Amino acid sequence: MDSYNTIKNYKADDFLLSVWDKSEIYIKALKNWAKQGIYRNPLDNSLLINYPPITAASPVSSAMYSDWRDSLLAMPDDMAVALYIHIPYCSRRCTYCNYYSLIKPEAPESYIDLLIGEINNYQNILAGKKIKVNSIYIGGGTPSLLTEKQLEEIIDIIYKVFKVKDNIEVSMEFHPELIKNKQADNYLKHVRNLGINRVSIGIQSLDDLILTEINRGHTADDALSLLELILAQGFDKVNIDLIYGGLPFESLNSVYNTLKALMRLAPTSISKHFCEIKAGSVDFERYKKVRYYIPIGTRIFAFRP
């Protein structure tokens, strides 16, 4: 939806004006929340996580669709895009998460068919003109729920429809639960052979008490075993995602021990995400009922103490 909106509001001034108009609606919603005791800083990053912000988006009409198609056709030949493929399924709901995802043991075939159909649609619209792609990111949700065959189908259609530049970064997100799949080693080899050269693993913490409490469905040992398997595959880049600053039962020691164990294995990068408790998450509901649930001293979020 955002991309339609970006293209529709292609003139910078018009676009800025529409963001400004829509932000009034958001501020009104914030004021309503505040009346109920829920406070949120208007500069909270959830307003900025989508660009343009979600508040600037409007429903897609058929007129907008043809604007979008015309904009694609008008793209200069040397222009390249970053391609993001979303897999909105997870095997379980982590308590801090407020992203949209459906709980399924695997990604349904019907979704893969629709995804392939949508990508094929680009080919129909562009009638032979191929969009250049300079990076591919497969995120979620939990992309590592995809079967080898599903992943291969997605990569194949991308290369068929788009002109993928040589030596680009192709990323995929992994959940440590993959290690429980006896074929994890083969799965990773397959991923590597498909040209995926950067992986990002959502480890979050290496404290088993925390992992259980946030419903991650794996242990610290599982996460470390998967990381070792991944490192052994020789991916160009291996990133670890961690969450800190508000997880239940978290302490300075648990953060320090997590970092120490990970640094020993030397991934390419560690991305630290500050824990925020947001509407839509299980933690948000828990905290409304039991406000001392979260460790004292952590910078928290939306509620007046």
Helix (H, G, I), strand (E, B) or coil at 150: helix
Q: Categorise residue 85: left if φ over 0, alpha if ψ from -120 to 50, beta otherwise.
A: beta
State which of residues 90, 188, 191, 223 lies at the interface with ligand SF4 (CB under 6 A). Answer: 90
Is residue 142 within 8 Å of 173, Cβ to Cβ?
A: yes
Interface with ligand SF4, residue 99, by CB under 6 A: yes
Cβ of residue 62: shortest distance to ligand SF4, in angstroms? 32
Quick note: the x/- pattern for ligand SF4 over 155-184, rule CB under 6 A, is --------------------x---------
Confirm or reject binding of residue 239 to ligand SF4 (CB under 6 A).
Answer: no
**Is there a contact between 157 and 186 (Cβ–Cβ < 8 Å)?**
no
Query: What is the Cα–Cα distance from 120 to 187, expressed in whole angstroms?
Result: 26
Among 94, 112, 131, 155, binds ligand SF4 (CB under 6 A): 94
How many Å apart are CA 301 and CA 305, to the nearest integer?
10
- 39 with 6: CB under 8 angstroms? no
248 binds ligand SF4 (CB under 6 A): no
Based on CB atoms, which residue is closest to ligand SF4, 99 or 159?
99
Of 106-114, 138-146, 227-235, 247-255: span binding ligand SF4 (CB under 6 A): 138-146
Letter for the amino acid at 201? Answer: I
CA dihedral defined by 283, 212, 245, 271, rounded to 10 degrees? -110
Using CB under 6 A as the binding rule, the residues of this chain from 198 to 227 that contact ligand SF4 are 202
Residues that bind ligand SF4 (CB under 6 A): 90, 93-94, 97, 99, 101, 140-142, 175, 202
